[in-house]
């Protein structure tokens, strides 16, 4: 009698890569942040940025202390550069959120994946497969179809939005570069550490006292953004920038749905085709992504 045991067969389960899971969570929390910013029509963008930074600063410091991680980091130069680029991007982006239709502001911001891939090639030497570029363009075509032409967006606002996208892309690549030096929570902590003194000085002379309801929204923006930043940082430190950045396009779907349901914004006939293109482009780009 043969007592040899039958070899166990291993069943491989298709699991979503951690980097993609993180960026999807970040996109969701950023959508909540966008909604809060859009609701605060009376509070200037710089003041919203300050409140958001203060909440993240406190939470980030408490999380670092709880985990006994040195909050001051190792590569301070890159940490400060990430903070500066993120601060510029955030102030400009919040301005567009307050002065454009939500879908338009978010769509322009989602030019950042293009700049992210270009900058990652220059800064990090990360290569992108040709098929990824193809599906990237498919997803972007979907964004354009969802957005359509909006005459309410002025040229200066458009330029501010594009500049915000460039600085966002720069910040994402600094996050990726920092993966070999600092813990994700340290990277998150340095963002408000740089933001608070810069924006705070300006806000002191341009202060608008919020009501209690506005204060609550400001705090919720800070909480949502903190969660988004933590997941965003983990995403870019887990996978290649070219693999992660395209999933930001899913935020366009969140923006459209929130715009329709909360702010009574409209969507063109081509918008629904755009949804399909965005989802198709994102899925296919993920299938042909470069290994981390």
Extract long-range pairs of 210-217: CB within 8 Å, 24+ residues apart.
210/43, 210/47, 214/40, 214/42, 214/43, 217/36, 217/39, 217/40
pLDDT number for residue 277: 76
> Domain locations in the chain?
18-126+153-236
Q: What pLDDT sits at residue 54?
A: 94
- At 9 the pLDDT is 47
What DSSP line would sit under 246-270, residue for residue? GGGGHHHHHHHHHHHHHS-----TT
Q: Which residues contact 154 (CB under 8 A, 6 or more apart)?
A: none
Provide the residue-wise pLDDT of the chain in tens; the chain has 292 residues: 455 555 554 444 557 778 888 888 888 898 888 888 888 989 998 999 999 899 989 999 999 999 999 999 899 999 999 999 999 999 999 899 888 877 778 777 877 777 777 788 777 777 767 777 787 788 777 767 766 656 677 778 888 988 998 899 899 889 888 888 888 889 989 989 999 999 999 999 999 999 999 999 999 999 998 898 888 888 877 877 667 766 766 776 777 777 777 777 666 666 667 667 766 776 676 666 555 5
> Whose structure tokens read 């045991």?
5
What confidence score (pLDDT) does residue 119 get? 84
The sign of the torsion formed by the CA atoms of 155, 170, 173, 100 equals negative
Residue-level pLDDT at 5: 52
Angle at 92 between CA 88 and CA 97, to 5 degrees: 145
- Cα→Cα distances 185→17, 50, 175, Å: 20, 19, 11
Identify the CA nearest to 274 among candidates 144, 142, 150.
Answer: 142
pLDDT computed for residue 35 by the predictor: 86
Prediction pTM value? 0.74
Identify the pLDDT of residue 242.
62
């Amino acid at each position: 009698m043969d007592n040899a045991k039958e070899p166990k067969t291993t069943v491989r389960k298709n699991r979503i890569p951690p980097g993609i899971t993180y960026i999807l969570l970040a996109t969701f929390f950023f959508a909540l942040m966008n909604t809060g910013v859009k609701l605060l029509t009376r509070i200037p963008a710089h003041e919203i940025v300050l409140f958001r930074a203060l909440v993240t600063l406190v939470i980030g410091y408490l999380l670092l202390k709880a985990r006994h991680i040195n909050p001051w980091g190792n590569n301070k130069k890159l940490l400060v550069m990430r903070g500066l680029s993120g601060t510029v991007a955030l102030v400009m982006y919040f301005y567009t959120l307050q002065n454009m239709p939500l879908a338009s502001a978010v769509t322009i911001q989602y030019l950042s994946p293009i700049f992210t891939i270009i900058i990652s090639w220059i800064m990090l030497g990360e290569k992108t497969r040709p098929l990824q570029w193809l599906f990237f363009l498919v997803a972007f075509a979907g964004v354009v179809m969802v957005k359509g032409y909006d005459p309410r967006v002025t040229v200066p606002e458009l330029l501010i939005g594009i500049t915000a996208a460039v600085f966002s892309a720069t910040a994402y690549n600094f996050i990726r570069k920092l993966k070999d030096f600092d813990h994700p929570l340290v990277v998150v902590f340095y963002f408000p550490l740089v933001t608070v003194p810069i924006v705070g000085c300006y806000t002191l002379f341009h202060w608008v006292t919020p009501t209690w309801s506005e204060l609550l929204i400001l705090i919720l923006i800070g909480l949502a953004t903190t969660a988004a930043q933590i997941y965003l940082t983990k995403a870019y430190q887990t996978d290649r920038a070219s693999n992660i950045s395209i999933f930001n396009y899913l935020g366009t779907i969140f923006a459209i749905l929130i715009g329709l349901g909360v702010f009574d914004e409209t969507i063109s006939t081509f918008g629904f085709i755009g949804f399909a293109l965005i989802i198709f482009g994102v899925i296919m780009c993920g299938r042909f992504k470069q290994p981390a």
